[in-house]
Chains A and B, each alone.
Chain A
Amino acid sequence: MKLISKDIEKDNAGQVTLIPEEAEDMWHTYNLMQVGDSLRASTIRKVQTESSTGSVGSNRIRTTLTICVETIDFDSQACQLRVKGINIQENQYVKMGAYHTIELEPNRKFTLAKKQWDSVVLERIEQACDPAFSADVGAVVMQEGLAHICLVTPSMTLLRAKIETSIPRKRRGNCTQHEKALEKFYEQVMQGILRHINFDVVKVVLVASPGFVREQFCEFLFLRAVKQDIKLLLENRGKFLQVHSSSGHKYSLTEVLCDPAVTARLADTKAASEIKALGDFYKMLQHEPDRAFYGIKQVEKANEALAIDILLVTDELFRHQDVPTRTRYVRLVDSVKDNGGTVRIFSSLHVSGEQLNQLTGVAAILRFPVADLSDEESSSDDD
């Protein structure tokens, strides 16, 4: 993402102009936007013109619209962002008050105006524009008959393909069906990799599985590559890394990203650091349960006692459309920062973020133990 201009007043109102460059930037933008903001972006409209003689002609016109945001949709598969709202600036083609939907396009600038730019959002822009974060990892988590092909970017884990086939068991005196089905399954996974993983972008492809499936698969993959002369695979052979995982389900990705072999090769990815932070939280809960809190009420109480050392929050909470709820979280984050704590905002697209989301979305590791407040009907507000 490129920041073109940032114009924010003292009262935190103002506007920012950005150019999204890659798929991930759409996700960042999605997190920046709120209902009630105004967005200006260029889009293509088909316009009908009627000449004086009455003949009707239609042509496509690129025009810039400014809308007041009403709904925001993010498609995580295609990484596209669609914003719907009422037109608030009339131009030659579009009337005031007409509903329009803009689909943000990569490499076209857009301007976002907010009445209130808070710290969380500003940090997000900074983070999005930081060029250092751009290591993409391909990951194939598999077990016999089940494979997930994922793309792990700093702030997203995108499931590109899920391959599920039933593989007949070995039976007495008849293993051919089993072996045939297995081969077919590997073939499918291989096709999935070829289709979904862009080796120009991806630095490492992790192949993770329990047992010997990964070894067997890699053997199959390169044997096939040699046979069919698939240069793409042969050239990128060095990028494949085999890692152990306990199953082929998506959540096993956490184990994979934490694997020392992976962290050594990938330096510090955001995904891995999030997983580590969540792991720390669980470790604390295990050893000193009074120093690990979760649930907004409890965490707020701990914050009042200035006890929070590390705050874990998912970004989903900041996408909350209800303004008071959102400000409640923002205030929490700000106050933790003011008190010298660290705040880690988890991406809800990562597996670890999903888990934190289930865990009320907010958790904290404390500096010192605070007596358990759970006696007075603690987490009553979580459904």
Chain B
Amino acid sequence: MARHRNVRGYNYDDDFDDDDLYGQSVEDDYCISPATAAQFIYKRDRQTSFTEPLEEEEDEYEEPDKLKPNDSSLSAADQARLYSCLEHMREVLGESVMEQVMIDAVLKSQFDVAKALDIVFKQDCNKNIKPANQDIITERPTKGKTRGLQASEHEYEIVPKMAKMIVSGKKQTMGFDVPSVSSEINGQSVKGQTNEEAMEEADNGLQSANPIPSSQNTEEHSSIMTPGKSSNKAKQKINIKEELEKRQGGKHLLNLVVIGHVDAGKSTLMGHLLYLLGHVNKRTMHKYEQESKKAGKASFAYAWVLDETGEERQRGVTMDVGMTKFETKSKVITLMDAPGHKDFIPNMITGAAQADVAVLAVDASRGEFEAGFEAGGQTREHALLVRSLGVTQLAVAVNKMDQVNWQQERFNEVTSKLGHFLKQAGFKESDVYYIPTSGLSGENLVKRSQISELINWYKGPCLLEQIDYFKAPQRSVDKPFRLCTSDVFKDQGSGFCVTGKIEAGFVQTGDRLLAMPPHETCTVKGITLHEEAVDWAAAGDHVSLTLTGMDIIKINVGCVFCSPNEPIKACTRFRARVLIFNFEVPITQGFPVLIHYQTVSEPATIRKLVSVLHKSTGEVMKKKPKCLTKGMNAVIELQTQRPIALELYKDFKELGRFMLRYSGSSIAAGVVTEIKE
């Protein structure tokens, strides 16, 4: 049975893809309009409404017969009017509504097209069938919106269930799943529409029409992924911009890093958020609760969602960046949970280097905030680091507010102290948002809080809403391909996998890439985005690539993959403009430092202090200074032991930034100005 369906599903798919462009509208000369196809195939899969399709099929066959008796009862003039009305309505409705229904409506409304349409829509609503048609929406935007709202309510009900599938490890592969195939067609039928709202509307329509939870997940993705896949079969080069727009027409991708002092509750905050969003099923959560209680740290249960290694759980400290994804209303978020402990700042930097926006968690409880904020705490260092790594938008989660009884005074105290500092650090006041939260009790995370102590004075958004409000950054898709490796591992099958964020450009399966510094080429065999195989990916995506034609030994964390035509430069000596942080020891030449560049950390020495610059004007104030002290802006020359792949700041903003660290503290942030050799 399933196989049979599958074949049918696929045929539709291929028919569509083989000869076609995506910018096509619904009204094409196909034997079956996509809308009808959607309706029918859908219903067949839906186990809940087995009877419906049968009825409708009957309707269709009977149509001509039914028409006659009706016609006969009308005068010739009326008949003419009826046909003209029907024509009008068909234009509006397409063929998604039965002719008989239309005729009835027309007769009821006494040949008034507008009224007839109204009647049809009302019926539709009752049936909960929504034709995905452009014209309706353009004519009736208000309606679309109300539906959107309904749908979003549904969404919350649905999401947890689908997430369950993921966590329990059942991957839904495309092609074997009927709903996904049918929805592909649906998705495609919608593709032609330029209107974003239209797309959402259609999607939502599908969801509400189809309450099977598991399909919702695949539906969304497949509607996103399929175009790439099919196009690849047809032709090698795809217009990535167009593709991206289409994909992003759905949801923007955003990379988010969670930072803050150790024990500020970063992992718990995010673990709880994921739980509330339904990305962790109840059983797993229950298991965590039991186990953490057994281990004597019950409050760490939510953190265990993200801290997965035994070591991390045992010590109750995040050690490496935990990565996962979730969705908000308008965005797909790649979440990186950075470690807060001082010793793991290198790990935190690799996470932050890949982020677009950040959530800074601070502990609001008395003494704890101060400890994290004063010298030696990581609140300042983390904030400075993410700012230097190019993050401009920041949400401050003032966490553990429940421990101070949601006092407004405490919140204000914390925010004013932080605000002052963040302004100094270079964040715009308008880009920093403060949200009182409680990671442990889950207050104000995904829903606005109901706690009276809080709503008395706090009217702002909850954390999830705030994340949703973040502006997605511009991606440099036009530039040559660059990917910084953050992880290398062996997977099943041939070749090996590297993961990382695509900093610029795009990649397709089958592309040849050049790895620097080893200076070796390889072929991309597969691309995985959020655990789903795709055929292309572009700047901003956090992907893993399956590579062949190269030895895994040659690739280390920190290698940069780039397009062979426009390779990245590898060098051991370069000049950079740096800003010295609040670091006590003066920096002289010969200073051994650790350079953190994207995902690389490499020992280097300061070879030369070239000049000191004026902070705001950039004029050279002194050449060959004796030493650099805190707050100075200077040009220096750095020498690394092994070559590292670098880009100039002026060419690639994302790839020209680096950090310098010395014996466990960050001493400077810099941008590459000149590559020597």
The answer to whether A and B interact is yes
Which A residues form the contact surface with B (CB < 8 A)? Answer: 145, 164, 166, 168-173, 175, 177-179, 210-212, 216, 244, 246-247, 249-252, 254-255, 282-283, 285-286, 289, 294, 351, 354-360, 372, 374, 377-380, 382
Closest to B319 in A: A211
State the Cβ distance, B612 to closest chain A Cβ, in Å: 12
Centre residue among B605, B626, B661 by max chain A CB count within 10 A: B626
Taking A164-B556, A355-B590 as given, write out 14 further A-B residue pairs in contact, using a Cβ cutoff of 8 Å, ordered by the A residue number. A169-B320, A169-B499, A170-B322, A171-B323, A171-B489, A172-B323, A179-B310, A216-B311, A285-B585, A354-B592, A358-B607, A377-B624, A378-B624, A379-B626
Are B586 and A169 in contact, with the CB atoms below 8 A? no
Chain B residues closer than 8 Å to A372, beta-carbon distance: 626
Q: CA A351 – CA B603 in complex, angstroms?
A: 13
Q: CA A283 – CA B310 in complex, angstroms?
A: 42
Closest to A252 in B: B663
Are A212 and B590 in contact, with the CB atoms below 8 A? no
Q: CA A380 – CA B608 in complex, angstroms?
A: 11
Q: List 9 A-B contacts (CB under 8 A).
A: A166-B488, A175-B309, A179-B309, A211-B343, A246-B343, A246-B663, A282-B588, A286-B584, A359-B588
Mark B278-312 against chain A: 1 for CB-CB distance below 8 A, else 0: 00000000000000000000000000000011110
Chain B residues closer than 8 Å to A252, beta-carbon distance: 663
Q: CA A210 – CA B319 in complex, angstroms?
A: 11
Return the contact of A173 from the options B308, B320, B341, B661 (Cβ within 8 A).
B308
Chain B residues closer than 8 Å to A377, beta-carbon distance: 624
B532 contacts chain A at the CB level, 8 A cutoff: no
State the Cβ distance, B277 to closest chain A Cβ, in Å: 15
State the Cβ distance, B81 to closest chain A Cβ, in Å: 63
Q: CA A372 – CA B323 in complex, angstroms?
A: 52
Chain B residues closer than 8 Å to A171, beta-carbon distance: 323, 487, 489
Return the contact of A211 from the options B322, B344, B585 (Cβ within 8 A).
B344
Return the contact of B588 from the options A170, A179, A247, A294 (Cβ within 8 A).
A294
Return the contact of B603 from the options A216, A250, A282, A379 (Cβ within 8 A).
A250
Mark B389-425 against chain A: 1 for CB-CB distance below 8 A, else 0: 0000000000000000000000000000000000000
Are A356 and B590 in contact, with the CB atoms below 8 A? yes
Are B591 and A355 in contact, with the CB atoms below 8 A? yes
Return the contact of B343 from the options A177, A210, A351 (Cβ within 8 A).
A210
Are B489 and A247 in contact, with the CB atoms below 8 A? no
State the Cβ distance, B620 to closest chain A Cβ, in Å: 15
Chain B residues closer than 8 Å to A216, beta-carbon distance: 311
Mark B643-677 against chain A: 1 for CB-CB distance below 8 A, else 0: 00000000000000000010110000000000000
Are A168 and B487 in contact, with the CB atoms below 8 A? yes
Q: CA A45 – CA B487 in complex, angstroms?
A: 55
Chain A residues closer than 8 Å to B624, beta-carbon distance: 374, 377-380
Are B488 and A359 in contact, with the CB atoms below 8 A? no
B557 contacts chain A at the CB level, 8 A cutoff: yes
Are B486 and A211 in contact, with the CB atoms below 8 A? no
Q: CA A285 – CA B584 in complex, angstroms?
A: 10
B169 contacts chain A at the CB level, 8 A cutoff: yes
Are A177 and B490 in contact, with the CB atoms below 8 A? yes
Chain A residues closer than 8 Å to B310, beta-carbon distance: 175, 179
Q: CA A238 – CA B603 in complex, angstroms?
A: 32
B160 contacts chain A at the CB level, 8 A cutoff: no
Given known pairs A286-B584, A372-B626, the reply for A358 and B489 (CB within 8 Å) is no
Q: CA A382 – CA B609 in complex, angstroms?
A: 11
Are B344 and A210 in contact, with the CB atoms below 8 A? yes
Return the contact of B346 from the options A175, A244, A247 (Cβ within 8 A).
A247
B451 contacts chain A at the CB level, 8 A cutoff: no
Chain B 575-622 interface residues, beta-carbon cutoff 8 Å to A: 584-586, 588-592, 594, 601, 603, 605-607
Closest to A373 in B: B626
State the Cβ distance, B580 to closest chain A Cβ, in Å: 12
State the Cβ distance, A246 to closest chain B Cβ, in Å: 3
State the Cβ distance, A115 to closest chain B Cβ, in Å: 34
B629 contacts chain A at the CB level, 8 A cutoff: yes
Are A168 and B489 in contact, with the CB atoms below 8 A? yes
Are B344 and A359 in contact, with the CB atoms below 8 A? no
Given known pairs A286-B586, A358-B605, the reply for A170 and B320 (CB within 8 Å) is yes
Q: CA A247 – CA B595 in complex, angstroms?
A: 12
Mark B625-652 against chain A: 1 for CB-CB distance below 8 A, else 0: 1110100000000000000000000000
Are B663 and A255 in contact, with the CB atoms below 8 A? yes
The 10 closest A-B pairs by CB, nearest first: A358-B590, A246-B664, A168-B489, A210-B343, A359-B590, A211-B343, A251-B592, A169-B487, A249-B603, A285-B586
Chain B residues closer than 8 Å to A358, beta-carbon distance: 589-592, 605-607
Closest to B307 in A: A170
Q: CA A374 – CA B627 in complex, angstroms?
A: 11
Chain A residues closer than 8 Å to B487, beta-carbon distance: 168-169, 171
Closest to B624 in A: A379
Chain A residues closer than 8 Å to B594, beta-carbon distance: 247, 249
Q: CA A354 – CA B322 in complex, angstroms?
A: 37
Q: CA A246 – CA B343 in complex, angstroms?
A: 6
Closest to A216 in B: B311
Given known pairs A177-B490, A285-B627, A289-B627, the reply for A170 and B584 (CB within 8 Å) is no
